[in-house]
Chain A
Amino acid sequence: MNISLLVILPILTAVALLFCNGLKQVRTVSLIGATVQLALAFALLILYWNERAAGNTAQMLFESSYTWFAPLHINFHVGVDGISIAMIALTSFIVLAGVLMSWKEDRMPKEFFFLLILLSAGAYGFFISLDLFTMFFFLEVAVIPKFLLIGIWGSGKKEYSAMKLALMLMGGSALVFVGLLGLYFNTDIGGGVHSFDLLQISQMHIPVEVQKMFFPFAFAGFGIFGALFPFHTWVPDGHSSAPTAASMFLAGISMKLGGYGCLRVATYLMPDAAHAYSWIIVLLATIAIIYGAFATMMQTDLKYINAYSSVSHCGFVLLGIGMLTQTSITGAVMQMVSHGLMTALFFAAIGMIYSRTHTRMVAQLGGLLKMMPFISTVFVIAGLCSLGLPGFSGFVAEMTVFMGSWQNPDTMYRIATILACASIVVTAVYILRAVGQSVMGPVTDSHYLGLKDASWNEKFAAGLLIIGIVAIGIAPFWLNELITPATDTIMQHAVKLVTLK
Chain B
Amino acid sequence: MTNYAYVSLIPLLPLACFVVLGLWGRKRFKTFSGIVGTGSLLASTILSFYTAYQYFFVDGKVNGVYQHIIAMKYTWLQFSPNVSIDMGIMLDPISVMMIVVVTFISLMVHVFSLGYMKGEERFATYYAFLSLFTFSMLGLVLSTNIFQIYMFWELVGVSSYLLIGYYFDKPSAVAASKKAFIVTRFADLGFLIGILILAFHAETLDISTLIERLTDHQSTQFVSITTGSLLGVSILTWGLTLVFIGGAGKSAMFPLHIWLPDAMEGPTPVSALIHAATMVVAGVYLVARLFPVYSIDGAALDIVTYVGAFSALLAAVIACTQTDIKRVLAYSTMSQIGYMMFSLGVSRYGGENGLGFMASMFHLFTHAFFKSLLFLGAGAVIHLVHSNDMKDMGGLRKFMPVTHISFLIACLAISGIPPFAGFFSKEEILTAAFDSNKLIYGVALFTSGLTAFYMFRLYFSIFWKKESHLHNAHGEGTSTMKIPLIILAVCAVIAGLLPFSNFITSDGAALETHINLVFSIAPVLLALGGILLAANLYKTENNKPEKVAAALGGFYKAAHSKFYVDEVYIFVTKKIVFNLIGRPAAWIDKNIVDGLMNLIASVTEKISELIKGLQSGKVQSYTLYFFAGIVGLAAVFIYLWK
Contacts and interface: CB of A to CB of B under 8 A. Distances in A.
Within 8 Å by CB, do A and B touch in the complex?
yes
Interface of A: 164, 167-168, 229-234, 291, 294-295, 297-299, 308, 326-327, 367, 369-370, 373, 384, 387-391, 395-396, 399-400, 402-404, 406-407, 417-418, 421-422, 424-425, 428-429, 432-433, 436, 439-443, 476-477, 480, 484
Interface string B517-560: 00000000000000000000000000000000000000000000
Contacts of A476: 76-77
Given A167-B601, A390-B154, A400 B79 contact: yes
A234 B589 CA distance: 11
A442 B171 contact: yes
B200 A406 contact: yes
A440 B168 contact: yes
B169 interface: yes
B83 A403 contact: yes
B259 to A, nearest CB: 12
Interface in B44-77: 75-77
A298 B196 contact: no
Interface string B229-248: 00000000000000000000
Given A230-B593, A327-B80, A403-B83, A424 B200 contact: no
Contacts of B578: 297-298
Interface of B: 26, 75-80, 83, 85, 147, 150-152, 154-155, 158, 161, 165, 168-171, 174-175, 177-178, 181-182, 185-186, 188-189, 192-193, 196, 199-200, 578, 581-583, 585-586, 588-589, 593-594, 596-597, 601
A339 B147 CA distance: 22
A439 B578 CA distance: 22
A480 B171 contact: no
Given A291-B585, A436-B175, A406 B169 contact: no
A295 B585 contact: yes
A396 B182 contact: no
B152 A407 contact: no
17 contacts: A164-B601, A291-B589, A295-B586, A297-B586, A326-B80, A327-B80, A384-B158, A395-B151, A399-B77, A403-B196, A422-B189, A425-B182, A425-B189, A428-B181, A428-B185, A432-B177, A436-B178
A485 B185 CA distance: 34
Contacts of A326: 80
A164 B597 contact: yes
B370 to A, nearest CB: 32
A396 B171 contact: no
Contact of A407 (B78, B80, B188, B588): B80
A432 B199 CA distance: 30
Contacts of A367: 168-169
B77 A396 contact: yes
Contacts of B174: 436, 440-441
B177 A436 contact: yes
B572 to A, nearest CB: 13
A178 to B, nearest CB: 17
A196 B178 CA distance: 53
Nearest to A411: B230
B152 A390 contact: yes
A274 to B, nearest CB: 20
B581 A390 contact: no
Contact of B182 (A229, A308, A428): A428
A298 B583 CA distance: 6
A391 B199 contact: no
B196 A417 contact: yes
A473 to B, nearest CB: 10
A440 to B, nearest CB: 4
Given A436-B174, A476-B76, A395 B154 contact: yes
A404 B582 contact: no
Nearest to A230: B593
Contacts of B200: 406-407
B263 to A, nearest CB: 14
A403 B199 contact: yes
Given A369-B168, A440-B174, A432 B154 contact: no
Contacts of A436: 165, 174-175, 177-178
A477 B80 CA distance: 12
Contact of A295 (B26, B169, B199, B589): B589
Given A395-B154, A442-B169, A298 B585 contact: yes
A370 B196 contact: no
A395 to B, nearest CB: 7
Central interface residue in A232, A432, A441, by most chain B CB within 10 Å = A432
A466 B119 CA distance: 31
A229 to B, nearest CB: 8
A471 to B, nearest CB: 14
Contacts of A432: 161, 177-178, 181-182
Nearest to B180: A432
Nearest to A369: B168
A418 B79 CA distance: 18
Nearest to B596: A230
A403 B192 contact: no
B170 to A, nearest CB: 8
Contact of A480 (B77, B182, B186): B77
B196 to A, nearest CB: 4
Given A384-B158, A421-B189, A477-B75, A298 B169 contact: no
3 tightest Cβ-Cβ pairs between the two chains A and B: A298-B586, A390-B151, A294-B585
Contacts of A418: 193
A51 B169 CA distance: 54
Given A326-B80, A389-B155, 10 more contacts: A164-B597, A298-B586, A390-B152, A395-B154, A406-B200, A425-B189, A432-B181, A440-B168, A443-B169, A476-B76
Contacts of B155: 389-391
Contact of B189 (A384, A389, A424, A429): A424
Nearest to B595: A233
B582 A477 contact: no
Contacts of B585: 291, 294-295, 297-298
A327 B81 CA distance: 10
Contact of B589 (A233, A406, A428): A233
A112 B581 CA distance: 41
Contact of B582 (A230, A294, A387, A403): A294
B471 to A, nearest CB: 31
Contacts of B589: 233, 291, 295, 308
Given A421-B192, A421-B193, A233 B594 contact: yes
A460 to B, nearest CB: 15
B147 A297 contact: no
Contact of A441 (B80, B168, B182, B582): B168
Contacts of B152: 390
Central interface residue in A164, A373, A391, by most chain B CB within 10 Å = A391
Nearest to B154: A390
Contacts of B76: 476-477
Contacts of A395: 151, 154
A403 B79 contact: yes
Contacts of A297: 578, 582, 585-586
B340 to A, nearest CB: 26
B595 to A, nearest CB: 9
Central interface residue in A404, A441, A442, by most chain B CB within 10 Å = A441
Nearest to B139: A390
A302 to B, nearest CB: 15
Contacts of B147: 399
B463 to A, nearest CB: 35
Nearest to A377: B22
Nearest to A436: B174
Contacts of B189: 421-422, 424-425
